[in-house]
Amino acid sequence: MEETLYSIEIHKDGDMYLGRIYSDVDGVKEFKNHRIESLLRDITFDIQLALDVFSNRSIEFAEGEGQVETEV
């Protein structure tokens, strides 16, 4: 099954680049930069952080499912 995680738009307005990322989890985020390389770095870094946080939450949830608490 295929699922779109992010949609990315990049526009140039004068000497400024504007990037927008859309996701069901984070909504819409905007980034601005004078250099396209820096804009792409910022967008990539933000997506990477969001996916790392999601991955860590999934691992914590999975680990919590396997634990059984007992009272002494």
- Domain edges within the chain: 7-65
pLDDT value at residue 13? 94
pLDDT at residue number 9 = 98
Which amino acid appears at position 66 of this protein? Answer: G
Q: What is the pLDDT of residue 24?
A: 87
Number of other CB atoms surrounding residue 37 within 10 Å: 9
Model confidence, pTM: 0.71
Residue 70 exposure: Cα atoms within 13 Å on the Cβ side: 1
Residue whose entry in the numeric block shows the structure tokens 């295929």: 2
pLDDT in tens, the chain (72 residues): 788 889 999 999 999 999 999 998 889 999 999 999 999 999 999 999 988 877 776 666 666 665 555 454
